[in-house]
């Protein structure tokens, strides 16, 4: 707030010939400067009488400076001084007067605040101070709004009340705001944004419910306390109109009891040697160098905005520092806080776009954190695989496992039962916000059973370690639910049970549903009954004799029975005909083809083919080894869609045979593509680079005689009693494999075998 010496230069310059006028103007400006400098010190002492005297003096000296300025102006005008110089002088002095006016306003606001505080004491408004607790915010803000904010008093007085009702810790976030109506509005906005978010209040009440003590004996006092705390939280959620929203994930969990971890302990005990612990070795410079160079430059940047390309260019310079950070993190067990911060992008899933629950949050973390996460994940997964600690039911986040392998295993089993004349019940479970509801305490308990040393401060949400930790959390589902066969892909859980009659299927499937519901309650997970579906699968002839529903229930809700449901991107119907799925695929494929068609005028033929292979072709070929056992008519519809694509790509009319077009752009017909995928999966099964449960479907001859089958590396073809048996993956795969050229079956490298298959089917065109 001090004055610049140029003011006095201006004053001296334009008053040097006016004797006492010059001296008086200079003195008044000096007094004004001293008054400005004193203000902060006087306010800091807080003596109201001294502040009032200072305010009075301020007003007098400001008025006197303004009067001197006018006197000097008159003298200059009389002396015919240049008008531009006079204007410059006026602007300089006015600037300092405005600064003094700001200080006067500051003093007035302070005095008004004191007056408002005295007024508050006289009014005796009693509101308990707000201490920053989210649970206390609705109470405090409701009382303050009704008692103070809606009153017809000055905003500055309301501001004083507000400050008086805040604890020192809370008050710090609004300190420094101007003591005026605008400052009051900003203070309310800051407090509401910080403490008034419904999500934080809801989380606090949910925590109260989760932390309710377990009552193991009859104790009326404890039961009353339990009921009072529960009803308080429920009523608060009801007041916030959020009770229905959290009902599925919370209310069912209030009855949870200590989870039964004994099956998991026994499972781990049979697989893990005594006194064996998981450890993470130090990261080597060679590993870090390769990890940096293998980063994709097309990935999004984290909040640190580190450019991957620049990191790769300068990796030799930063390598020692990064290596030190990584190895310090490994030895201390602490993940750097800055690497836990992520950029969140909501991606729409399905349903109403107005409902926030229909968006999936996609987190983008720092590229530096990803290197450390992958290093942890590499050794953790190696440890789990070495000791076979993951159940065979889990197909997600594991090497050699995929959506395709799970669906192949599932459909092979269903078709096998269909071949035997059995019915199969399939329960498709939907866990509500599975990743969000993971209990950290329970997760740490389970990690301890696996003899995993916990990371002290956790890992960031959205990291590559997240899915791996999640599958460890739910790894015991098949162990506690042996009534049904479980097929799990990360959080997509499917229970299957077969039987000769619908009553048998219903009974076993209901027991499996109850076991899973109990597991979910014990592990504080929430099943969404309205999104969980049940299907009865069998041959058309068998299903035509069934006139009653399955009637399976979860959490007291009867599960909706459907005849077709989407599982891992594939629409599965009750007879596994795949007609519905193929209709969806063709519709989606045609939409992508339309985009290719629109881009055609702007791209060369080579780029157009590249665009087709990037966006349209994968849509048609996704999991085609699973649904490729459909009828000839259904497969013909897919082939027709391919022919249309070829004519668009080559701008050809219908007089040219489609096979000629396929040859020109090397477009493999869908039938051969399916054979290629099945042969590639068969190769993986035979060479044990697929899930063990799938590899067992490819049986080699057990005798030791020198036969043609052994010499040709053939496999056993399972028996089939009906068309359903002939549609099994194991039947089709073994048949294709045995009829494939012997030179291909002798190949031991997967890339070489894949290249051979591509060449083989290309030559068939």
Percent of the chain with pLDDT over 70: 84
SS3 97: helix
User: Rounded mean pLDDT of 96-109?
Assistant: 73
List CB contacts of 116: < 8 A, sequence separation 6 or more: 154, 156, 157, 158, 159, 160, 161
Domain contains 294: no
pLDDT at 252 over 50: no
Model confidence over 114-138: pLDDT tens digits? 666 566 555 556 788 888 887 788 7
Question: How many residues comprise the chain?
Answer: 765
Domain contains 339: yes
| Same domain flag for 431 and 560 | yes
Exposure string for 345-381, b = 16+ CB within 10 A, e = fewer: eeeeeeeeeeeeeeeeeeebbbbbbbbbbbbbbeebb
Distance, in Å, from the CA atom of 757 to the CA atom of 752, rounded to the nearest integer, reads 9
Distance, in Å, from the CA atom of 218 to the CA atom of 227, rounded to the nearest integer, reads 14
Domain contains 281: no
pLDDT at 92 over 80: no
Of 168-172, 182-186, 356-360, 656-660, the one with minimum mean pLDDT is 356-360
Strands (E) across 220-342 are located at none
User: Rounded mean pLDDT of 151-171?
Assistant: 81
Domain contains 245: yes
| Same domain flag for 26 and 48 | yes
pLDDT at 552 over 60: yes
Q: What is the pLDDT of residue 246?
A: 57
Closest CA to 694 of 702, 684, 704, 680: 684
List CB contacts of 470: < 8 A, sequence separation 6 or more: 397, 434, 435, 438, 490, 491
Q: What is the pLDDT of residue 16?
A: 40
Q: What is the pLDDT of residue 10?
A: 38
Q: Which of 60-64, 237-241, 543-547 has the highest mean pLDDT?
A: 543-547
pLDDT at 458 over 90: no
User: Rounded mean pLDDT of 570-597?
Assistant: 94
Return the higher-pLDDT residue of 609 and 431: 609
Q: What is the CATH number of the domain that holds 477?
A: 3.30.70
Structure tokens at 22: 């010059």
Distance, in Å, from the CA atom of 154 to the CA atom of 116, rounded to the nearest integer, reads 9
| Same domain flag for 323 and 433 | no
Q: Which of 170-184, 312-326, 441-455 has the highest mean pLDDT?
A: 312-326
- Of the residues 66, 96, 119, the one at which a domain ends: 119
For 703: left if phi > 0, alpha if psi spans -120 to 50, otherwise beta; the answer is beta
Distance, in Å, from the CA atom of 241 to the CA atom of 143, rounded to the nearest integer, reads 19
List CB contacts of 167: < 8 A, sequence separation 6 or more: 129, 130, 131, 132
Distance, in Å, from the CA atom of 517 to the CA atom of 533, rounded to the nearest integer, reads 14
How does DSSP assign 166-223, residue by residue? B-HHHHGGGTTS-SSHHHHHHHHHHHHHHH--HHHHHHHHHHHHHTPPP--S--HHHH
| Same domain flag for 424 and 569 | yes
Closest CA to 65 of 19, 37, 34: 34
Model confidence over 741-762: pLDDT tens digits? 999 999 999 999 999 999 999 9
Closest CA to 491 of 428, 399, 418: 428
Q: Residue for token digits 């370690």?
A: 465
Which residues is 348 bridged to in the sheet? 359
| Same domain flag for 399 and 343 | no
Q: What is the count of structural domains for the chain?
A: 7
Q: What is the pLDDT of residue 404?
A: 94
Domain contains 216: yes
Return the higher-pLDDT residue of 498 and 5: 498
User: Rounded mean pLDDT of 429-451?
Assistant: 82
Model confidence over 667-705: pLDDT tens digits? 999 999 999 999 999 999 999 999 999 999 888 766 555
Which residues is 362 bridged to in the sheet? 345
- Cβ 256 vs Cβ 522: under 8 Å: yes
Domain contains 9: no
Q: Residue for token digits 């420094």?
A: 176
Of 147-151, 462-466, 599-603, 715-719, the one with minimum mean pLDDT is 462-466
Query: How sure is the predictor about 592, in pLDDT bands with cuts at 50, 70 and 90?
Result: very high
- Of the residues 667, 685, 702, the one at which a domain ends: 667
| Same domain flag for 191 and 161 | yes
Of 139-153, 619-633, 716-730, the one with minimum mean pLDDT is 139-153
Distance, in Å, from the CA atom of 523 to the CA atom of 166, rounded to the nearest integer, reads 39
Element (H, E) at 58: helix 48-78
Q: Which of 31-45, 139-153, 281-295, 703-717 has the highest mean pLDDT?
A: 281-295
Q: What is the pLDDT of residue 245?
A: 57
Domain contains 556: yes
User: C-alpha dihedral over 195, 201, 207, 213, to 10 degrees?
Assistant: 110
| Same domain flag for 546 and 663 | no
Q: What is the pLDDT of residue 632?
A: 92
User: Rounded mean pLDDT of 4-10?
Assistant: 37
| Same domain flag for 80 and 34 | yes
Mean residue pLDDT across the chain: 82
pLDDT at 402 over 50: yes
| Same domain flag for 344 and 360 | yes
- Of the residues 173, 196, 219, the one at which a domain ends: 196
Q: DSSP assignment, residue 533?
A: E
- Cβ 748 vs Cβ 735: under 8 Å: no
Question: Exposed, middle or buried: residue 65 (CB in 10 Å: 0-12, 13-18, 19+)?
Answer: buried
User: Rounded mean pLDDT of 404-429?
Assistant: 94
Structure tokens at 123: 């009014």
Q: DSSP assignment, residue 130?
A: B
Alpha-carbon distances, residue 49 vs 42, 46, 56, 762 (angstroms): 10, 9, 11, 98
pLDDT at 388 over 50: yes
Percent of the chain with pLDDT over 90: 34
Domain contains 187: yes
Element (H, E) at 362: strand 359-364
SS3 300: coil
| Same domain flag for 216 and 158 | no
- The rounded radius of gyration (Å) of the Cα atoms in the chain is 38
| Same domain flag for 404 and 499 | yes
Supply the range of the domain harboring residue 608.
Answer: 580-667
How does DSSP assign 447-510, residue by residue? HHHTTBPPPTT---TTSTHHHHHHHHHTTTHHHH-TTSEEEEETTEEEEEEEESSHHHHHHHHH
Model confidence over 640-659: pLDDT tens digits? 999 999 999 998 888 888 88
- Cβ 77 vs Cβ 14: under 8 Å: no
The span from the first CA to the last CA of the chain, in angstroms, equals: 86
Phi, psi of 170 (to 5 degrees): -75, -40
| Same domain flag for 403 and 467 | yes
Model confidence over 316-370: pLDDT tens digits? 889 999 999 999 988 887 888 888 888 888 888 777 777 776 777 777 888 888 8
């Amino acid at each position: 707030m001090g004055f610049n010496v140029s003011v006095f230069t201006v004053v001296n310059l334009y008053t040097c010939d006016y004797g006492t006028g010059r001296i008086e103007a200079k003195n008044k400006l000096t007094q004004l400067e001293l008054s400005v400098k004193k203000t902060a010190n006087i306010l800091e002492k807080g003596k109201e009488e001294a502040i009032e005297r200072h305010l009075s003096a301020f007003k007098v000296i400001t008025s006197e400076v303004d009067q001197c300025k006018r006197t000097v102006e008159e003298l200059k005008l009389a002396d015919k001084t240049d008008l531009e110089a006079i204007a410059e002088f006026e602007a300089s002095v006015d600037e300092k007067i405005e600064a003094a006016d700001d200080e006067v306003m500051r003093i007035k606001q302070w005095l008004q605040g004191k007056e408002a505080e005295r007024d508050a004491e006289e009014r005796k408004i009693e509101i308990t101070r707000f201490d920053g607790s989210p649970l206390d915010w609705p109470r405090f803000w409701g009382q303050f709004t009704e008692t103070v904010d809606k009153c017809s008093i000055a905003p500055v007085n309301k501001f004083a009340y507000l400050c008086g009702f805040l604890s020192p810790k809370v008050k710090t976030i609004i300190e420094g705001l101007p003591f005026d109506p605008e400052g009051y509005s900003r203070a309310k906005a800051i407090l509401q944004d910080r403490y008034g978010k419904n999500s934080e209040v809801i989380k606090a009440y949910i925590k109260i419910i989760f932390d309710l003590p377990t009552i193991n004996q009859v104790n009326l006092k404890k039961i009353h306390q339990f009921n009072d705390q529960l009803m308080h939280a429920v009523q608060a959620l009801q007041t916030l109109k959020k009770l229905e929203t959290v009902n599925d994930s919370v209310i069912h969990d209030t009855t949870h009891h200590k989870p039964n971890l004994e099956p998991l302990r026994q499972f781990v005990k049979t697989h893990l040697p005594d006194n064996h612990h998981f450890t993470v070795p130090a990261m080597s410079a060679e590993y870090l160098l390769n990890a940096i160079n293998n980063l994709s430059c097309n990935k999004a940047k984290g909040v640190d905005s580190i450019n991957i390309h620049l990191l790769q260019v300068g990796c030799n310079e930063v390598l020692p520092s990064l290596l030190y950070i990584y190895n310090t993190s490994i030895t201390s067990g602490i993940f750097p806080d800055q690497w836990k911060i992520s950029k969140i992008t909501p991606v729409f899933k399905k349903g109403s776009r107005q409902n926030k629950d229909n968006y999936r949050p996609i987190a983008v973390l720092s590229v530096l954190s990803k290197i450390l996460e992958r290093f942890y994940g590499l050794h953790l997964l190696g440890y789990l695989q070495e000791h076979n600690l993951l159940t065979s039911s889990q197909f997600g986040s594991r090497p050699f496992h995929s959506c395709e392998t799970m669906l192949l295993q599932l459909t092979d089993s269903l078709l096998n039962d269909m071949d035997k004349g059995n019915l199969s019940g399939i329960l498709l479970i939907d866990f509500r916000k599975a990743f969000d509801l993971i209990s950290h305490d329970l997760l740490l308990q389970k990690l301890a059973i696996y003899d995993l040393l916990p990371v002290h401060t956790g890992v960031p949400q959205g990291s590559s370690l997240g899915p791996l930790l999640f599958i460890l959390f739910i790894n015991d589902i098949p162990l506690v639910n042996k009534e049904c066969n479980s097929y799990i892909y990360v959080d997509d859980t499917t229970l299957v049970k077969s039987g000769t009659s619908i009553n048998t299927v219903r009974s076993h499937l209901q027991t499996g549903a109850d076991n899973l519901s109990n597991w979910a309650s014990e592990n504080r997970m929430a099943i969404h009954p309205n999104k969980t579906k049940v299907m009865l699968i069998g041959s058309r002839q068998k299903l035509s004799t069934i006139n009653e529903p399955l009637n399976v229930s979860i959490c007291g809700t009867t599960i909706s029975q459907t005849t077709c449901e989407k599982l891992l991107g594939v629409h599965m119907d009750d007879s596994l005909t795949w007609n519905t799925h193929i209709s969806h695929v063709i519709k989606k494929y045609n939409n992508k083809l339309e985009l290719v068609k629109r881009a055609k005028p702007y791209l060369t033929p080579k780029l157009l083919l590249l665009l087709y292979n990037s966006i349209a072709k994968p849509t048609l070929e996704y999991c085609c080894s699973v649904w490729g056992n459909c009828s000839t008519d259904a497969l013909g519809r897919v082939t027709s869609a391919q022919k249309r694509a070829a004519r668009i790509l080559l701008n050809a009319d219908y007089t040219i045979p489609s096979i000629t077009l396929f040859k020109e752009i090397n477009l493999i017909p869908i039938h051969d593509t399916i054979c290629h995928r099945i042969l590639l999966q068969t190769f993986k099964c035979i060479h044990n680079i697929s899930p063990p449960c799938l590899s067992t479907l490819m049986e080699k001859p057990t005798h030791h005689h020198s036969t043609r089958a052994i010499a040709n590396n053939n496999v056993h073809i399972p028996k089939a009693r009906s068309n359903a048996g002939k549609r099994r993956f194991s039947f089709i795969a073994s048949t294709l494999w045995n009829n494939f050229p012997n030179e291909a079956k002798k190949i031991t490298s997967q890339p070489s075998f894949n290249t051979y298959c591509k060449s083989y089917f290309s030559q068939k065109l």
